[in-house]
């Protein structure tokens, strides 16, 4: 059973920074995509960033230049460094994993992911 556990959420003021972590266990797929999604109240879940096993990285336009996704395979941990946070970044953030590389815009399709964490809340005040 693959497990994903997020941490690092919290409350910050506009312009602040946070680093989210996603610890993974029993994830042994050779080809995969790991992603971060977020869901604000009353809104649909949206893709924020993703990284494939081949090193390809994608970002949503709304976070380009502010967020950085990375992974540490030795620690089996996925990260999302968030800087210059805005109130509109407020949401529950989820870590997700797919058992295959996702091409094109599929990285942002939540239904392409097999495994999900429980989420970590991020709140940005103005």
pLDDT digits (tens, 9 = 90+) for 79-121: 999 999 999 999 999 999 998 889 888 999 999 999 999 999 9
Rounded to whole angstroms, the Cα distance separating 19 from 118 reads 17
Q: What is the DSSP string of the chain?
A: --EEEEE--EEEETT--EEEEEEEES---SS-EEEEEEE-TTS--EEEEEEETT--EEE-GGGTTTEEEEEETTTTEEEEEE-S--GGG-EEEEEEEESS---GGGGG-GGG-SEE---EEEEEE-
The predicted pLDDT at position 16 comes to 98
Sorting pLDDT into bands at 50, 70 and 90, what band is 32? confident
How far apart CA 88 and CA 112 sit, in angstroms, is: 25
Residue 1 has pLDDT above 80, yes or no: no
pLDDT at 26: 66
């Amino acid at each position: 059973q693959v497990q994903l556990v997020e941490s690092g959420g919290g409350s910050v003021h506009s312009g602040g920074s946070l680093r989210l972590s996603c610890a993974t266990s029993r994830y042994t797929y050779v080809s995969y995509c790991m992603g971060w999604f977020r869901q604000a109240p009353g809104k649909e879940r949206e893709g924020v960033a993703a990284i494939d096993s081949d090193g390809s990285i994608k970002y949503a336009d709304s976070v380009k230049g502010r967020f950085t996704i990375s992974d540490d395979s030795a620690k089996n941990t996925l990260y999302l460094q968030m800087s210059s946070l805005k109130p509109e970044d407020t949401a529950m953030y989820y870590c997700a994993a797919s058992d295959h590389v996702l091409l094109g815009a599929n990285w942002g399709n939540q239904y392409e992911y097999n495994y999900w964490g429980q989420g970590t809340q991020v709140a940005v005040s103005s």
